[in-house]
């Protein structure tokens, strides 16, 4: 199978906005509110490592976007064990929330994730991608909201035989993820709207 997809539910909430987070997985510089501010995407440090991530954040920062980013990160490593042709891994994550976060329920995010996963499966030919969708509560302190809202944290990895190939595979993955995240069918699933089959 070209894409391996899993779903998880995280019982622990995070708080947004948040400051820098550095641990064995993340080196995050803190929350940047990009809603309606596409010009600020160039200030996100990770965009210097990935033109595809910059394109994704740019799409989500548009004033017309139905979802926005709560955070992202990138990384690369050599995996232990497994076939040598798949040992180099380049990955990262993006966490997104619906612009109508006060109205959106966990089951809406589940449908959204399933629609994205289906779209990624269709676009994955020739790649070795892994995606994990984590439904996560967020204590949002935006727009005088100050309550817990659901979100989806999308972790992704691309595997290849060499570091450069893994990085290119990750770029392809992120570009496909951008298309899937912003597709009408995905956004309709997030809002609980049935889209007629073409």
Look up residue 38 and give its DSSP letter: G
Burial of 37 per CB tally in 10 Å (0-12, 13-18, 19+):
middle
Return the number of other C-beta atoms located less than 10 Å from residue 87's C-beta.
18
**pLDDT tens-digit map of 109-130:** 999 999 999 999 888 877 889 9
Average pLDDT over residues 88-98: 95
Return the number of other C-beta atoms located less than 10 Å from residue 76's C-beta.
16
Q: Is 198 a residue whose pLDDT tops 70?
A: no
At 1 the pLDDT is 35
**pLDDT tens-digit map of 57-92:** 999 999 999 999 999 999 998 887 666 667 899 999
Pairwise CA distance, residues 57 & 47, whole Å: 9
Structure token pair of residue 16: 């947004």
- Give the CA distances from residue 164 to residues 4, 21, 25, in Å, rounded to whole numbers and listed in that order: 21, 27, 21
Q: Is 53 in contact with 72 (CB distance < 8 Å)?
A: yes
Percent residues over pLDDT 90 in the chain: 57
> Between residues 96 and 29, which one has the greater pLDDT?
96
Q: Is 88 in contact with 159 (CB distance < 8 Å)?
A: yes
Pairwise CA distance, residues 3 & 157, whole Å: 10
Number of H helices, E strands in the chain: 4, 7
> Between residues 87 and 154, which one has the greater pLDDT?
154
Domain ranges of the chain: 3-190
What is the pTM assigned to this prediction? 0.86
At 97 the pLDDT is 95
At 12 the pLDDT is 82
């Amino acid at each position: 199978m070209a894409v391996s997809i899993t779903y998880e539910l995280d019982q622990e909430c995070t708080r947004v906005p948040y400051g820098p987070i550095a641990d064995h997985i993340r080196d995050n510089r803190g929350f940047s509110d990009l809603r309606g501010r596409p010009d600020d995407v160039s200030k996100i440090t990770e965009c210097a490592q990935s033109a595809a991530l910059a394109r994704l954040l740019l799409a989500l920062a548009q004033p017309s976007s139905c979802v926005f980013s709560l955070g992202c990160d990138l990384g690369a490593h050599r995996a232990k064990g497994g076939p040598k042709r798949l040992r180099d891994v380049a990955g990262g994550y993006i966490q997104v929330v619906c612009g109508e976060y006060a109205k959106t329920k966990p089951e809406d995010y589940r449908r959204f994730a399933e629609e994205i996963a289906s779209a990624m499966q269709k676009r994955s030919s020739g790649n070795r991608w892994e995606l994990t969708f984590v439904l996560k509560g967020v204590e949002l302190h935006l727009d005088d909201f100050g309550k817990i809202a659901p979100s989806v944290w999308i972790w992704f990895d691309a595997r290849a035989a060499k570091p450069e190939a893994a990085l290119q595979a990750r770029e392809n993955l992120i570009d496909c993820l951008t298309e899937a995240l912003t597709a009408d069918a995905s956004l309709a699933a997030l809002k609980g709207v049935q889209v007629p089959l073409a």
